[in-house]
Every structure is written in structure tokens, then in C-alpha cells.
Chain A
Amino acid sequence: MSLFGLLTPQAFIHGPIETGAQIIVIVAVLVTVLAITYLGRWRWLWQQWLTSLDPKRIGIMYILLSFVMFGRGFVDALMMKSQQALAVGAPGYISPDHFAQLFTAHGVIMIFFAAMAFMFGIINLVLPLQLGSKDVAFPLLNSISFWLTATGALLLNLSLVVGQFAATGWLAYPPLSELAYSPGVGVDYYIWALQIAGIGTLLSGINFLTTIATMRGHLRLMQMPMFTWTTLGSMLLVIFAFPILTVTLALLALDRTLGFHFFTTDLGGNAMMYVNLIWAWGHPEVYILVLPAFGIFSEVVATFSQKKLFGYTSMVVATMLIVVLSFMVWVHHFFTMGAGADVNAFFGIMTMAIAIPTGVKVFNWLFTMFRGRIIFATPMLWFIGFLTTFTIGGMTGVLMSIPAADFQLHNSLFLVAHFHNMIIGGVVFGFFAGFTYWFPKFTGIMLNERWGKAAFWAWIVGFLMAFMPLYALGLMGVTRRLDHIDVASGLYTQPWAHWLFDIAAAGAAVIALAVLFQIIQIIVSIWNKHKHHVGENPWRSQGPEWQEPAEPLHERSARGVAIGAVAALFGFGLIWHIWWLAALALIGILLSLITLPKPEYAD
């Protein structure tokens, strides 16, 4: 057994395009390190940011992480779109295996390291202030959670430099993800990046729920702002859904590393059990993401309609109903796997049912706007964009909740359009609305409205162009994850199929423009901060987080960074079968847990 396990110099050698990516990652890291050194900012970075226990700083770090990872996930998308545009009756420029890694990485990055990271960022910033508390329940745990997430992102990016990533799709179904069919380290990178980040997420769920439960002061439950309520719902889902992911990934790891037989094709293994378990987690996961976005919209609609939110009680009830129901619909992700009509019908009906509380929310927002004095600032535009796109996506969801229809549409571009509709229209637009809305609270700077509006319009036009054609193409039978299209399929040469693909590709380019506008918006706003400077409550919101200034907190601890670093070594050791490294790292983790300092309140 080699000292470095499976790691050999070969692992650093890749094809031409991957080598390009590898170089970019290495150069980016070097440039960052050199820049910080040149500016003499290491001490500042360490003391003010990396070891900070201030949830506002941790929140900003989460958001910056999510921006970086979103960039990478978006580049993956652009590469896929360009490959599909070029690869009609031709090989294109990306090999099938590389393409598979692209769509896998795109999904994993966007869900775990763009969306989840941003969500925890916003919660860290806003939740304590909405509760009238200075901090979360467990500040050190908060830092540890961030660093575990960062470690997951690190491992994922490391797969670009050494080794490869999974080529299995973002959920890594067996048997493809088993050792027999994915013999490299790609799936192991996937497993350990997500396991480590997943622990961070679970700990955050516990942290934020405890914060809401015990640090409200005199605030009663039915007085809490809607963002707090939806965060409560989301964190309940995190606590009860993430353990399922932990188990499922662990079982896959046991199959791959120790020759167990949970999901293998022989000796009694059942790959479908993996699909069952991963979606029992996967469905709550999408509600984990969208509930806080709904909460943001509640805050935004009330503020920019200059009216109290309509139907608070029904909003709360709807939120909790969504929480419970989200654990009762998961089979709709695999209607075609072979269950009988009774199972499929039950879950189809439950899926339709969960649209009802969501509809209640939509109507409450509309009634909030009714007879309000609407201000069409950028956050409100994001809300209106959400309203239109999310409704379309929701309707296509209910369409697919009918098992018979789903048999036609499963794994087609129709499905791809639907879930991007929900995640972009719902989650991403919600996060953009929140980012624009709360930016002045935490920086004293209002984001430039002109660039904000330009970005909104580019996003919504780009999104519609990129994804509406996919609904039609899916109905015409085009499947997802195609790395090339055979001329024999006749598909691309049909005149208007051709148009649909081209519009979709153009849409991706428009979204790229939109992202550029957002980057410009941030730069312009900060560059001209004297022009964009605002007071304490520029939107004149009734929200509690706006009523008092947010003080910086000065507690620090290096333990979060340390645990993150040791977790990275642990993950790396397991991935490459460097057992001594993994064992040492594990001991390190245990030691850091055992030597946690005694809290002041303990007797």
C-alpha cells in the first residue's frame, strides 16, 4: 500500500480543457494569496473575518463563497450550452465523460454551494436582528458550520486540479456511482464534499432553530416576522431531512470503499433503495431552499406596497403545512421507477396538495399589493419576476404530478425547464431581492438602482429565453444531459426545433450579461459610495431588523478554521485512500471536540 494511497502524478494530468480549468484554479488561488500578501492584509483577514464569530461577518463570508461557487457553476452551464450548440452531428469540443462531470458539478455546486451557502448567509445576517438578539445560539458552532461548508467547496474545486469529479449526475445514482462503473475517485470527491458540508448544514439547522426557540426575548411566536417563520420551517426540514442524506452517502461510501452491498447489482443490493432514500432527502431539500426565499418576498412585498402583510396567520399555517407535506411527496421524483398505480397515485395527489399552501402564499402576497402604494424598486421587481415565473413553474409541476403525464416527461428537457423555473424564479430571484433589500442595512450603501433594474430585466428576459423553449423541446421528446445530438435523430434539423435550441443558447448569453450587470452594479455602488450612502432605514420598512443599528461583535475563535482544515485532510485522505492521513485527521477532530473550552455559564 503506497504512502499516498491512490494518488499518483497521473492524477494531475488532464485533457486540454480540464487542464485549462486546472490552471485557472491554481492561478486564481495564487493571485489571491499574492494580492493579500502585497496589501499586507493577512492579519486583518484572520482577525476580522476568518476567525470572527460575528454572525454578520460569517454571513458575508457565506455570501462571498456562494458568489464564487455560483460563478463556477455558471461557467459549467455556459460550457454545456455551447457544447450542445456545437455538437449537432459533430463531436463538439467536450468529451462525453467531461460533459457528464460538467452537469454533475453544475448541479452539485448550484444547490449546495451557491443556493444553500447564500441562504445561510442571509439567515446569519438577518435572523438575529429580526429576533432582537445580537447573535445566534451557538456562535462557535456557527463558525464551524461555515468552515465545514467551505471545506466541502474546497474538495469540490480540488477535483479540478487533482483527480476528477463524479460523472453521474448531481445525485449520483448507483449502479453508475458504484465502484464497478465509476472506478476513479470522482464519486468519492462527491461523497465527501457533500458529507462534510452536510454536517455543517445540519449543525446550522440546530443552531438557528435553537436561536429562534430560545433567543426571542419577549417576542411571541405569532409576532415573528415572516422571514423568521420561514427560516424556522426550513431549519426543521434541515434537521429532519439531512440525516437521510448522511446515511445514503455513507452507505454508498461503504459500498465503494469496503465492498458492502447496499446498492450493488449483486448479492441482494438494491439500487432503487438509493433513489428512494436520496429523494426522501431531496424533496425536503428544495423546500429548505425556497421557504426562506418566500420569507424574503413577504418582507419585500409588505415594504414596497407600504402595507402590512395580508393574512399573517394563514401564511404561518401555510408554511408549516408545506414543512409537513414536503416529507410526503418524494416519489414524484421517480414515478417511472416501477411502483404500482396505488403508490404513484398517492404521491401524485400529495404533490398536488402541496401546491395549495403555496397558492395561499401567492394570494396573500397579491392581496398585500392590492390597494397598496407600490414602489417599483429593484427588490419589488424581483418579486414580480418571481410571481410570474414561479407560477408557470408551479403549474408545470402540478402537470408532472400526474404520473401518467410524468411517464412522458420524466428526464426530458421539460423537467429541466420546470426545476430551473422553480429554483431560478423562486430561490434565486428571492435571494437577489433579499440581497438588494438588505444591502443598505449592512453596508450603509444603497445598490445602484439603474444597474439593478437592468440586471433584473436581463435576468428575466434571459431566463425566459433560456428555459421556455425547453418546455417545448421536452414535449417533443428531447431528453436531458445530452452531450451531442445525432443528425439521425432529425431533431435539430427540424426548422423550429433548431430555433428553440438557438433561442435557449442565446438566453444563456443574456443571463451572462445580466450577471455582468450585477457585478457592475456592486462595483459602481461601492466605488461611488458617497453618492449611494443612505441612512438607517432607507426603505422605511416596518421590519424589526431595520429599527435598531446592528453592532459589530468582537468574539473570535480559530477553532472553526482548524476543524475545517482537519476535515479537509480527512476528506482528502478518504478520497485517495491515504488511510494514515484520514486516521490522523479523525483523531484531530476528536481532540478538537474534546478540548472545547468550558462555556462561562456552566457551573
Chain B
Amino acid sequence: MKHYFDGLILSLLFTLLSFGLVGMHVHMNHTAIPHELLYVVLPLFAVAQLLVQTVYFLHLPQGNGWNKFVYGFAILIVVLVVGGSLWIMSNLQHNQSEMFIGEPSPEHQLD
């Protein structure tokens, strides 16, 4: 019971931090905190809350081996699918939107 309560408090903490930061940022006309910092810190808070809920709500450390193994495997696959897709698709985007600037070089002329 106490475990759950601690988990709630910690989760609330990270939630308030995330929303608070963005709230402040918006309030200051999107200038107070650099975007890049937010793009790093907010995901970190999300991961922190994931870990909090995994320990305090899901009680994973007390689970049996299989539960922990497939949880780890799931994290791996999620990272591969999301990260991999982002890497691949942005790479495509980058390589395909290259326009020739000015005249194409002689080898690339069509006639």
C-alpha cells in the first residue's frame, strides 16, 4: 500500500515537472527555455516515470525471470522499431530532397 503511495507521489512529481516546464515555456512566449533542452529533458522525465511505475506499480523487480526477460526484450524491440524507423526515414528524407543548386554538372545534363 505504501509502495503504491510512494509511486504515486514520484509519478506526480515527474508529471508536474514536465507540465510545469512546458507551462513556463509557453507562458514566456516560448522563449524561456531552449527547445533543444526541452526535447532532451522531457523524454528523460518520461523514462524516469516509466521506471518509477515499473518498480512501484508493476513490482517488476520482484517478478519471475520470464517477466523480466520479456520486459527487457520489449524495451529492445521498441527502441529498435522507433529509433530504427526514425533513423531510416529521416535518412531517406535527407537523401531524397537534395535538389541541385543551380545548373546540374555536365555529366548530369540530360542532352
A and B touch in the complex (CB under 8 A): yes
Does A552 make an interface contact (CB < 8 A)?
A: no
Instruction: State how many residues of chain A have any CB contact under 8 Å with chain B.
Output: 22
CA distance A56 to B84 in the complex (A): 40
- Find chain A residues with CB under 8 A from B84 CB: 280, 328, 330
Chain B residues 64-95 with CB under 8 Å of chain A are 66, 70, 73-74, 76-77, 80-81, 84-85, 87-89, 91-92, 94-95
15 A-B residue pairings within 8 Å (CB atoms) = A236-B70, A240-B74, A276-B88, A280-B85, A327-B76, A330-B84, A331-B88, A338-B92, A339-B88, A339-B95, A340-B91, A340-B94, A340-B95, A342-B91, A343-B88
Chain B binding surface, main DSSP class: helix
Contact B73 A240 (CB under 8 A): yes
Contact B89 A276 (CB under 8 A): yes
* Highest count of chain B CB atoms <10 Å: which of A270, A328, A337, A339: A339
Does A244 make an interface contact (CB < 8 A)?
A: yes
Q: Hey, what's the 0/1 contact readout for B18-39 against A, CB within 8 Å counting as 1?
A: 0000000000000000000000
CA distance A532 to B28 in the complex (A): 86
Residues of A within 8 A of B (CB): 213, 236, 239-240, 244, 270, 272-273, 276-277, 280, 324, 327-328, 330-331, 337-340, 342-343
Picked from A213, A240, A339, the residue with its CB within 8 Å of the CB of B91 is A339
Picked from B77, B81, B91, the residue with its CB within 8 Å of the CB of A343 is B91
Does B96 make an interface contact (CB < 8 A)?
A: yes
Contact A337 B92 (CB under 8 A): yes
- Find chain A residues with CB under 8 A from B95 CB: 338-340
- Find chain A residues with CB under 8 A from B88 CB: 276, 331, 339, 343
Least CB distance, A321 to chain B, in whole angstroms: 13
| Nearest opposing residue in chain A for B80, CB measure | A327
Picked from A277, A337, A338, A342, the residue with its CB within 8 Å of the CB of B85 is A277
CA distance A343 to B89 in the complex (A): 10
- Find chain A residues with CB under 8 A from B70 CB: 236, 239
CA distance A342 to B77 in the complex (A): 21
CA distance A240 to B66 in the complex (A): 15
CA distance A360 to B91 in the complex (A): 34
- Find chain B residues with CB under 8 A from A276 CB: 85, 88-89
- Find chain A residues with CB under 8 A from B76 CB: 324, 327
Contact B81 A272 (CB under 8 A): no
- Find chain B residues with CB under 8 A from A328 CB: 80, 84
CA distance A338 to B93 in the complex (A): 9
Least CB distance, A115 to chain B, in whole angstroms: 23
Contact A327 B91 (CB under 8 A): no
- Find chain A residues with CB under 8 A from B80 CB: 327-328
- Find chain B residues with CB under 8 A from A342 CB: 91
